[in-house]
């Protein structure tokens, strides 16, 4: 699928998600063992946290509503996808990827793992509690130590599941 076609799908999915007070987190269209899959990941906007900092996670009913509306809209679009596909709508999950400064601020206090593309103080894998962002560095507290990881060196990061 061409990039302009993917952008059209992203735009449609974002519009449907916004209609339900949600946002598009990710969209992929790929060939898998079951055939073509249009995978749409939705999330609550960061501003939806209540005054205690907690936010209601995306639930199965949110996914169902977005899936139904998106499926109906894609069925009547002028430019169909052009191949049979399976539509999957889900949330980013408990171990969600972190993307950018907004997410590092949004999830302060949560456990996270961060991998850098170049070593920082001799290491490239970090785990700890997100403590915020300061001077373009993510602060991760691991015991008594605070790691300062430059934002521009982060290859990938995700929350850790806590029980």
Please tell me the predicted confidence (pLDDT) of residue 76.
86
Q: 69, exposed or middle or buried, with CB in 10 Å at 0-12, 13-18, 19+?
A: middle
Every domain of the chain and the residues it spans: 3-90, 100-159
Rg (CA), the chain: 18
108 — phi, psi (to 5°)? -55, 135
Q: What share of the chain is helix, strand, coil (3-state, %, to 5)?
A: 30, 40, 30
Tokens read off for 122: 């001799």
Say yes or no: do domains 3-90 and 100-159 share a fold.
no
Please tell me the predicted confidence (pLDDT) of residue 47.
72
Task: Provide the mean pLDDT of the chain.
Answer: 92
Q: What is the dihedral of CA 73, 69, 34, 83, to 10 degrees?
A: 0
CATH 3.30.70.270 fits 3-90, yes or no: no
Domain spanning 100-159: which superfamily? Ribosome maturation factor RimP, C-terminal domain (2.30.30.180)
Tokens read off for 42: 């939705």
* Distance in angstroms (rounded) separating the CA atoms of residues 71 and 141: 43
Q: What is the pLDDT of residues 51-85, one digit of tens each?
A: 455 678 899 999 999 999 999 999 887 567 878 89
Mean pLDDT of 89-103: 94
Mean pLDDT of 92-100: 94
* Distance in angstroms (rounded) separating the CA atoms of residues 71 and 134: 42
Q: What 3-state DSSP class applies to 37?
A: strand
**CB 70 within 8 Å of CB 88:** no
Which residues are paired to 128 by β-bridges? 112
Please tell me the predicted confidence (pLDDT) of residue 50.
47
Say which DSSP state 97 is in: B
Q: What 3-state DSSP class applies to 17?
A: helix
CA 82 to chain centre: 27
Please tell me the predicted confidence (pLDDT) of residue 134.
96
Instruction: Judge whether residue 5 has pLDDT over 70.
Output: yes
Please tell me the predicted confidence (pLDDT) of residue 46.
81
């Amino acid at each position: 699928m061409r990039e302009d076609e993917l952008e059209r799908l992203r735009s449609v999915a974002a519009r449907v998600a916004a209609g339900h007070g949600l946002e598009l987190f990710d969209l992929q269209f790929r060939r898998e063992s079951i055939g073509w899959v249009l995978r749409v990941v939705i999330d609550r906007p960061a501003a939806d946290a209540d005054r205690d900092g907690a936010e209601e996670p995306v639930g199965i009913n949110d996914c169902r509503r977005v899936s139904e509306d998106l499926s109906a809209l894609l069925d009547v679009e002028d430019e169909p996808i052009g191949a049979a596909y399976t539509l999957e709508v889900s949330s980013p999950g408990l171990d969600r990827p972190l993307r950018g400064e907004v997410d590092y601020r949004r999830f302060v206090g949560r456990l996270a793992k961060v991998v850098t593309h170049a070593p920082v103080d001799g290491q490239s894998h970090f785990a700890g509690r997100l403590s915020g962002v300061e001077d373009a560095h993510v602060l991760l507290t691991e015991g008594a130590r605070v790691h300062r990881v430059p934002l521009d060196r982060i290859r990938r990061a995700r929350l850790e599941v806590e029980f």
